[in-house]
Structure 1
Amino acid sequence: MPLAVYALAVGAFAICTTEFVIVGLLLNISKDFAISISASGMLVTAYAMGVVIGAPLLTPFVAGLPRKPVLIGLMGLYIVGNLACAVAPSYELLMVARIVSALVQASFFGLGAVVATQLVAPGKQASAVAAMFLGATLANVFGAPGGTLLGQAFGWRSTFIACSAIGLLAAIAITLIVPRVKTEKPKNIGAEFASLASPRVLKALLITILGFGGIFTALTYIAPLLTQVTGFPETAVSWLLLLFGVGMVVGNPIGGRLTDKSLRLGIVTTLSALTVTLVAIGAFATYQIPSVILVFLFGAAMFATIPPLQVQAMQAADEAPVLGSAFNIAAFNLANAGGAWLGGYALDQGVGLAGLPVLAAIVSAIGLGFAIVAKAGAATTTSIATPAE
């Protein structure tokens, strides 16, 4: 795999550290601002909605620009957003700062995934996407647990300062390593948006939203679940998140390899594994040893779904690959926002923490069912057209 793909992965690492580290800091933030856990959980929803907003707000305007400078500029905006998080004096301003830092994610991942596929042979494109998303995986192995430890030791604001520093490192890596690649000539934005409304693209986005939708119903509240239900001490949360991240490292390339063989195989297998794992987490929530194993499997199942769902969207939007890729990232985060909201709403309605993984499994099962009925990935290769100069 070209080194440039891993330079893109550094950017993915930075962005996803900011996205996921908040899960381990919810208890600290809720205490600092004297708010409920469900209210602090809305910071997850706010970030996800920032990604959803960023897809149509930024991507159409950067899709036709030289890709390397755009990727560097997006990292600059990311740095500004994280510094704003670090100095936010109130819960409301922290939420606004989270949205600002999230605006870049859909465009960076969408554009970066297309660039990654341009750097490899056609038969390796799903694996190239998986390699770029390895940065997101490693963010959960090192970034989120490390950020949680840092926040617990020096206050949660120090975590966002560290995220800004990682963003700077990513910008430098992209500047030095990523080559200039072919860029699509600007097209009619209206026509490209119209292509996203095709049944094929809408089906791909809906499968992403439904299939991935249950994950954050459970993941947003994984820290209180593990401490208040399973009985782990609060200090164990960072190590359990580390284990979750190790699972992601294992699951991500598995999803990529399955998708290189068959897109349909990748979609159905990974969503099935995710649904079964979520049911098991709810069933064994009061048992520590099974919960440790299931935290690992949860991470593996979660990130195994990303390569097939992302490749499906990129293929479906072959007339506007950058927009399709970015909008699928937005679809992931719309699923995240909806899942986090659903989890908080369920808690407010009296559903126990142990019930959230089961609720999450129901949502993902609906996505799996729709993928099967809609014949997602049927008779499809994983080759993605490379844009012309």
Structure 2
Amino acid sequence: MAILALAIGGFGIGVTEFVVMGIMPQIAEGIGGTEADVGHGISAYALGVVVGAPVITALAAKVGRKRLLLAIIVLFIVGNGLTIFATEVPTFLASRFLSGLPHGVYFGVASVTAASMADPDRRGRTIAKIFLGLTIANLAGVPAATWLGQAFGWQTAFMIVVLIGVINLLAVLIWVPAGPVRSDASITRELTALKSGQLWLGLMIGAIGFAGIFAVYSYITPIVTGVSGVPEALVPLIMALFGLGMTVGTMFGGRLADWSVDRSIIIALIAMAVVLGLFGAFVHITWVAYVGAFVLGVCSQLLGPPVQIRLMDSAPQAPSLAASMHHAAFNMANAMGAAAGGFFIARQMLVAPAWAGVGFALAGLLVAVLTMLVPRKRIFRRRYQVDTTTGSIAIVPMD
């Protein structure tokens, strides 16, 4: 039930992050801006994640995990509540930035909490269960919120998000155990994670590699309606297919990560580059939009669990900060991808975001290969064991 409670939060975050892509025209009209302005709202949310993940996690080093989770869920509710009342571009951007602040912190703390409940050789699959909330959001929550936003006003979508936030707050309060507060926890200790070269290289893999998906997905509505000929009424189906692909990708990504973290990262990035290339070449065929949405969703989540584990292992003295930085990288990718895609969309070059995506995926692959060639510290050749009583991570020899 604790894992389910944490996954509900992932579901809410998934809805608020991705529903914007499906109701861009409605939001643009409502705030008196353009679709490019709404794209800047995507970037503002991502910037909030990038800022909030390290800052809030470090400042809350001495706060128990459950109390921190409850506090950031409240912040999530407030931020999305303000989005409902945005009537101009500046207020919309500000509310999206505020809504993004708790994102990385939530997933970071939730991932460490989930890992503390799992056997060391099943961390990938356990963390993937938290990510399933995010992917199921794209399978069911985002299409439903998109339909409601199109039918009853875009604000309705964010009312749903606030309701999910309230449910998440109650579920965490009831089911997630409090857990101990580490006696040696401090802001300084958390920030020592930032000294790890492997941490920064891992963040680069996520930030650059993920940007390829967001260059396309951030503008999936104008691409599939303007190039593929998909009716606007069927855009929720496109979103659902992407979400279904994310769900499948998350399940496989967790298993791949438990098999081999490094190999799964390479496989994911190669698959991403190939699929984005095929999507760009054939998206003018209507059925390719539907199939492509599903396969892009699969590729987007193959990379998540292995990158998360790589980051946590790169800073065992501060796993919460390292884990939260994963979603900072993920949303830096969101910001870069949305900015790159928006550059071409504003010039009516509707297929170009796919080619930009191929470039991002190949650049991420290059960083991944270089990262794996860099000699690692001896600590990376050890196995970690989580003490479920204290929540601490102990290093034990490999079998």
TM-score, normalised to structure 1, is 0.95
Matched to 2:175, the amino acid is I
Structure 2 CA distance for partners of 1:34 and 1:87, relative to 1, 3 Å: closer
Structure 2 CA distance for partners of 1:376 and 1:119, relative to 1, 3 Å: farther
Alpha-carbon contact 1:262-1:381 (below 8 Å) kept: no
Which stretch of the first structure deviates more once superposed, 266-275 or 26-35?
26-35
**Do structure 1's residue 177 and structure 2's residue 181 form an aligned pair?**
no
Matched to 2:333, the amino acid is A
Which residue is 2:370 aligned to?
Answer: 373
Which residue is 2:213 aligned to?
Answer: 215
Which residue is 1:352 aligned to?
Answer: 349
Q: Deviations over 1:250-297 (max 9, x none)?
A: 110101100101111211111111111111110111001122111100
Which residue is 2:58 aligned to?
Answer: 60
Task: Pick one of 148, 154, 157 that aligns with 2:155.
Answer: 157
Alpha-carbon contact 1:267-1:376 (below 8 Å) kept: no
Trace 1:21-60 onto structure 2 (pairs within 5 A). 21-60=19-58
Q: In structure 2, the residue corresponding to 1:185 is in which secondary structure?
A: coil
Q: Deviations over 1:330-359 (max 9, x none)?
A: 1111111111111112334x4611111111
**Do structure 1's residue 257 and structure 2's residue 255 form an aligned pair?**
yes
- RMSD (Å) for aligned C-alpha atoms: 1.9
Q: In structure 1, the residue corresponding to 2:178 is in which secondary structure?
A: coil
Q: Deviations over 1:161-200 (max 9, x none)?
A: 1110010001111111112224433434234323313211
Alpha-carbon contact 2:128-2:305 (below 8 Å) kept: yes
Which residue is 2:396 aligned to?
Answer: none
Q: 1:382: Cα distance to partner?
A: 7.5
Matched to 1:152, the amino acid is Q
**Do structure 1's residue 76 and structure 2's residue 80 form an aligned pair?**
no
Q: Deviations over 1:122-181 (max 9, x none)?
A: 111111110001000011011111110010111001111111001000111111111222
Give aligned-pair identity as a percent: 34
Which residue is 1:361 aligned to?
Answer: 358
Structure 2 CA distance for partners of 1:22 and 1:54, relative to 1, 3 Å: same
Trace 1:139-150 onto structure 2 (pairs within 5 A). 139-150=137-148
Alpha-carbon contact 2:32-2:89 (below 8 Å) kept: no
Aligned residues: 386
Which residue is 2:103 aligned to?
Answer: 105
Which residue is 2:302 aligned to?
Answer: 304
Cα distance in 2 for partners of 1:75, 1:125 equals 24
Cα distance in 2 for partners of 1:94, 1:109 equals 24
Which residue is 1:283 aligned to?
Answer: 281
Matched to 2:221, the amino acid is A
Which stretch of the first structure deviates more once superposed, 30-39 or 293-302?
30-39
Q: Unaligned 5+ residue runs, structure 1?
A: none
Cα distance in 1 for partners of 2:88, 2:60 equals 33
Q: Deviations over 1:9-47 (max 9, x none)?
A: 001101111011111111111222342222221111010
Alpha-carbon contact 1:315-1:384 (below 8 Å) kept: no
